[in-house]
Amino acid sequence: MSKLVSSLREAVALAGLRDGMTVSFHHHLRNGDYVLNMVMEEIARLGVKDLTVNASSLFDTHAPLADHIRNGVVTAIQTDYMAAGLGKEISRGLMAKPVQFRTHGGRPSAIADGTTPIDVAFIAAPSADPMGNCTGKFGKSACGSLGYAFPDAMYAKKVIVITDNLVPYPLQDWSIPEIYVDCVVQVEAIGDPKGIVSGTTRITRDPVGLVMASYAAKVIEHSGLLQDGFSFQTGAGGASLAAAGFLKDIMLAKNIQGSFGLGGITGYMVDMLQAGCFQSLLDVQCFDLKAVESIRTDPRHQEISALHYASPSMRSAVVDSLDVVILGATEIDTDFNVNVHTDSNGYIMGGSGGHSDTAAGAKLAMIIAPMSRARLPIVTDHVTCVSTPGKDIDVLVTQGGIAVNPKNAGLAARLKDAGLPIIGIHDLKAKAEAMTGAPKPLRKGARVVAEVVSRDGGILDQIYSVPEGQ
């Protein structure tokens, strides 16, 4: 018995794909992913139309989706993140139906409860056996964790595994078990290793970034949370990584035994594990080769599903136990609402990912961002798009001062006592505007091109088209 089929075309036919259905993809191969394009090209050739694409994230490598939209193959998109290339086209009005943005926790929740049913899930698997047991830990296209693919595999009506490393049954140390898999397709390559993970993620050397990072580490140090059992998530941006570096030094100096590091995992988090700052890493996605090597070889570094990471509708998720998260922003307003969906001209160039989920779960949710970018202040009266509501954000760290959300008065007092440069968010806005000037208000286009769905399923905001010339 084997579930191997001879081609992607045969797999799609066996899955019974028809007009109007939903197909899904995960994004662990990131900008090196070949699978989404390969599958959509085959589907287009088969003449199937009017599909919904539900992808955990979309990168610039997925630019061919624009043609599938123009040709009516794809008429709806659900995703947690969209890079600037496709984002720009969507913002200019490429699609009739608004894109639905969810979060990395809201997506699996909506899949599990039937809000966004999946007809056929395509799992890009760096290793698989002929019955469909598969993993991201091994193979020439190794990407580490397959965390975001779990809900797709568990709940889709049909599940197709696509691999470029077929191994004899049974694959050892599988992530997704055969019980969910309908068929397996072997292809030459599922991705370009250079795009799948960066060789290494890099700490910033920019002086402004280092100042912010140092403040961020001190905020954590004096937050009251940095004690034995401490848990932490940070992104892969240069300043966030630098903050993790400073935090590591503080933890080692104070001999603090943390419990876990969470999230998309970088080599810097692996360093912290190995240095004894954490007991475990809980990993929904690997960002670099060091993280991939670690999840493959270190039993303390464990894969978690997107459901386990962040779903608000399971009995609990790891984000509910998180102490501190460091997050980014393209804008933050004086109510601490954060935008990570659109750029300074209003074009889509991102998405929540795990932003809202970790902000909601963590005891301390910190935004780290420079006071201004491209001569535009980071603090505004109202963000262009609410990606994460201000009620879930505790503090904004910039090189020009640290603004604490008034809801967390205790934190403000502790940081002031520690001698950190606390500043009101309105003052911070004024300080930035004194340097950059007040920004011109953005013009909104006439159409809603995307909806931001909050992690628990409500409509958080709408994103409008960008008018010509902006």
The residues of the shown chain that bind its own copies, judged by CB under 8 A, are 1, 3, 131-132, 159, 168-170, 172-173, 177-182, 229, 259-260, 279-280, 282, 299-300, 302, 304-305, 307-308, 311, 314-318, 320-321
CB of 182 to its own copies, least distance (A): 5
Are the C-beta atoms of residues 464 and 90 closer than 8 Å to each other? no
**Nearer to its own copies among residue 172 and residue 200 (C-beta):** 172
CB of 180 to its own copies, least distance (A): 6
CB of 64 to its own copies, least distance (A): 30
Are the C-beta atoms of residues 385 and 352 closer than 8 Å to each other? no
How far is it, in rounded angstroms, from Cα 123 to Cα 102?
20
**Nearer to its own copies among residue 153 and residue 289 (C-beta):** 153
CB of 153 to its own copies, least distance (A): 10
**Nearer to its own copies among residue 311 and residue 330 (C-beta):** 311
Rg of the chain's alpha carbons, rounded to an integer?
22
CB of 199 to its own copies, least distance (A): 27
**Short-list 137, 191, 138, CA closest to 162:** 191
How far is it, in rounded angstroms, from Cα 186 to Cα 130?
9
CB of 159 to its own copies, least distance (A): 7
**Nearer to its own copies among residue 47 and residue 168 (C-beta):** 168
CB of 2 to its own copies, least distance (A): 9
Give me the phi and psi of 195, to 5 degrees please.
-95, -15
- Residue 446 buriedness (CB in 10 A; 0-12 / 13-18 / 19+): exposed
AA identity, residue 456:
D
Hey, is 267 helix, strand or coil? helix
How far is it, in rounded angstroms, from Cα 98 to Cα 93?
9
**Nearer to its own copies among residue 241 and residue 291 (C-beta):** 291
CB of 1 to its own copies, least distance (A): 5
CB of 276 to its own copies, least distance (A): 15
**Nearer to its own copies among residue 141 and residue 305 (C-beta):** 305
How far is it, in rounded angstroms, from Cα 278 to Cα 380?
37
Pairing of strands 372-373, 231-234: unpaired
**Nearer to its own copies among residue 19 and residue 173 (C-beta):** 173
H or E stretch covering 306: helix 306-310
H or E stretch covering 143: none
**Nearer to its own copies among residue 216 and residue 282 (C-beta):** 282
How far is it, in rounded angstroms, from Cα 77 to Cα 75?
7
**Nearer to its own copies among residue 321 and residue 345 (C-beta):** 321
- Residue 334 buriedness (CB in 10 A; 0-12 / 13-18 / 19+): middle
**Short-list 382, 373, 379, CA closest to 402:** 379
**Nearer to its own copies among residue 96 and residue 179 (C-beta):** 179
- Residue 337 buriedness (CB in 10 A; 0-12 / 13-18 / 19+): buried
CB of 173 to its own copies, least distance (A): 6
Q: Could you check whether the bond before residue 170 is cis, i.e. omega within 30 degrees of 0?
A: yes
How far is it, in rounded angstroms, from Cα 399 to Cα 212?
5
